Amino acid sequence: MQAFYNNPPSKSGLPALRPERNLTERTAYVLFAYSTFPAVSSNCMRKDIDGNIVADAANWGSLEDIHNAVHNLTGGIGGHMAVVPVSSFDPIFWLHHTNIDRLFAIWQALHEGTTGKDTFVVERQAGWGSFTVPKNGTEGIHTPLYPFRPDKDHWYTSDMVRPVEKFGYSYPELHNREALLEKLGEIYVPIWKSIKQSKKHIPTAGEQILPQVHTVQQIEAQGAPATAEQLKTIVAEMPPAEDLLKTSLEPSKPLLRDLAPHNKYLEWITNIGAEKHALGGTYTVHVFVGDPAEPNVALWPVAPSHVGTFAPLGQPSTTKCAKCVDDQSERVQVTGQISLTVALVERYLAGILDDLSEESVKPYLTKNLHWRVAELDGTIVEDRSEVANLTVYVVSNEVKLPEDNSQLPVYAPDVTIYPEITTARNGEGRGNGTGLTADAMSA
């Protein structure tokens, strides 16, 4: 069944309904919305100079979070990529890490020079230290990167290797910096681009999500369980792409451009934080919008209601990794983000949701947002509170559409937190107490 969903597009011309489609949305959000190196580079729960956790709800995602998710999803249950000590034995490991390098180079090209602040390595405490930097010592952009040197008299520093071209290579998207944003729009098709196209009355705006819109409509109409088997049936009977597009343009159908009155709309995101090495570091948190009816954990990523996966990529207590042992003793926490916007837009186009406003989305997610926890061997963790310090909550970020194709959208500097979505009727956190409540947020 997994092979079925990875088949090339069918003769109808429909794009394949691949597992974990949300990874594209998550990647686009980090590339476009994040503007500082500390936020984009690390999934570690940020702390101030005194070691206190910083309430930085806008920046719980990162390239490291995306990196971890790909490791887990590629390895699945029993595969090398999901197990850190042996992950590099899978050839895709090297392609994956090259892609993370590519994504960071793209992020640099998008943001360096736009603010002039914190867009590369910043000075901070070294934490665990290394052979050359003492624990809690200071390191920054000019710290020597022992033992690497460009010649016998100098050591490399981060500042010296800022652009990848210094190493004699580059990536296709970087060859024409002027057209970079347009190229990324073609690769990742962020929802703000589709909304902007709709405002220009381009008839194909949003066509990439129409198969999923049809899937959501069918499940809603049939009252069918949102399982991978049900998705397989729906895909087999999917109308041709041109018919889906024609239906979406009927006068009675909702339009993407109406989601951004005054050229602004809300991005909706699930923030997830937990101890990295809880349950031996092998757990994953899966976010669903709709009934998580699929019984097989291996098929969760292809279930119609599944949105995304948070993977800490931790280690068991038997690990030989000295840093991991220190992390375990200090109970290091990591964070991640699962973007919900495209899933909500699909339900808007399906006629299930009125718009992306707080008034529409809050009650919908209160009823339909779910999260489940599984271990690496496919065992479902029934009591989600067994994941130490697991916290799940929803935020929104106001986005202003760019005026032209050469500009990034403008993301609000702060997000709005909605503890009411993750609070049960009895006042406790949903999901065995792992949902954020208003009381917990105040504390």
Per-residue tokens: 350:
């399906």
**Residues 42-53, mean pLDDT to the nearest whole number:** 69
pLDDT at 3: 43
| pLDDT at residue 64 in the model | 96
For residues 171-181, average pLDDT: 90
Directed axis angle between helix 358-368 and helix 341-349, to 10°? 100
Per residue in 274-329, pLDDT (tens digit) is 999 999 888 999 999 999 999 999 999 999 999 999 999 999 888 888 888 888 99
Instruction: Give residue 131's pLDDT.
Output: 73
User: Closest Cα to residue 211, out of 250, 253, 191, 240?
Assistant: 240
Of 16-30, 75-89, 384-398, the least confident: 16-30
* pTM (predicted TM-score): 0.92
User: Are the C-beta atoms of 310 and 26 separated by less than 8 Å?
Assistant: no
Residue 168 has pLDDT above 70, yes or no: yes
pLDDT at 13: 42
Percent of the chain with pLDDT over 70: 92
% of the chain at pLDDT higher than 90: 67
Spatial distance between the Cα atoms of 434 and 83, rounded to a whole number of angstroms? 26
What mean pLDDT is reported for the chain? Answer: 89
Report, as an integer, the average pLDDT of 88-107.
96
Q: Give the count of beta carbons closer than 10 Å to the beta carbon of residue 425.
A: 6
pLDDT at 9 over 50: no
Q: Which residues pair with 410 in a beta bridge?
A: 400
The per-residue pLDDT for range 204-239, each reduced to its tens digit, is 999 999 999 999 999 999 998 999 999 989 998 999
Distance, CA of 408 to CA of 405 (rounded, Å) = 8
